[in-house]
Structure 1
Amino acid sequence: MKTILIIMLLLLPALAFAEDVTFKFGGFIPSANSDIWEVNVDETTFSVSNMAGGYVAGEIDLFLGRHFNFACEVGYYQKDVLVEDIDFEYPDGWPIEHVVYLRTVPLQASFKFLPLGRNRKIIPYVGGGLGFYFWDYQEYGDFVIYRYDDPEIITGYYQSTGVDLGYHGMFGLMIPIGWHYSVNAEIKYVRVDGNLGNDFDPTFEPIDLSGIYATAGISFWF
């Protein structure tokens, strides 16, 4: 929450120049294509699809002529999943469980190209840009260690946080309603990795935080 408040304060001056303010609601579907995700898939009931979750965002746009926009967006995603070990259980048959948790707060800058201009009944656009991704990954609960030699059950809490640079591409549609509003739909693919901290095995590769953001929203034009 502290991170979000700081970002919002930094973006407040930009509102003075905004010609379009958009509120977006939708979902995030992670790629989860790195070994820390694969370990959970192999050893527990975890599935990558479990991490699909809701996403909300706010965006401000500056019009650069008829065919271009410059946009800044801040968003929020959070998901936690309770998983069970698939190979081991407690002597009384109780499952060995832990939680997998991910939170990301993207701060993105984008250029959009509107090939037909913005004076249309339906306004398509494509674009891309860069962003800083504030993230928090956690696993906490009960775990099996030395699972292939002398299995042992432990209780632990493991966390890694970071801020990493990523890039994205997107396409979308705006449908104007009168002169001052539009409804929007957008698909955005983000590519970003983050280095895991000391709580995790140092042999792990960077965690894959990439994925697809699918949103719908409403814009207010000034």
Structure 2
Amino acid sequence: MDADLWRRTDELFAAALDLPVEEREGFLTAECGEDGALRAAVERLLAADSQAEQFLAAPAVLDLAAQEALEADAAAGLRLGPYTLLHRLGQGGMGTVYLASRDDGAYDRQVAVKLLRWTFDDGDLRHRFLAERQILARLEHPHIARLYDGGTTPDGQPYLVLEHVEGLPLDVYCDTHRLSVEARIALVRKVCSAVQHAHRNLLVHRDLKP
């Protein structure tokens, strides 16, 4: 997608989000005219936005037994395909992240495995998750951790296998290294570059925090 098309797509997407759903089709017809590529790009963004909201709001079954097991030290040693969980790295609202290793003989690699908190209660929700995972797998940027793999546990819990990157929270890194304002701005610009790359691939993060 060229820069002009992306800029116009972004403008129309933002404007369409402010409209009631039933008014968006007429708005796109008026604004896009005969430009089918522009309309298709905006519609893909709107569809992705709608699916993201539905994914977060959709009924999901919390597997309490699995969650308790994952939060315990007993999770170390759990095997998911060729990956073996080593220890927990952190936990957030969407799930728990573990350091894991691939040791199936094909090659050795340490990765981060994110186990999401939910099991899917319907095939449509599962389909959307798989589609989103495929989009993430196509992202290639020096400041975005690569998605290597993914799947579901025997209990139906989805997981993602990501590049493991050693590091610190951005504010801790800046304070530890006593970075100047200019150096901090340079780091934020790198973050913005990563977000821009995701947006150009029609992926909206929806969880950016100051």
TM-score by length of 2: 0.23
TM-score by length of 1: 0.22
Give the number of the structure whose residues are more often strand, by fraction. 1
Identify which of structures 1 and 2 has the higher relative contact order when contacts are C-alpha pairs closer than 8 Å and 6+ apart.
1
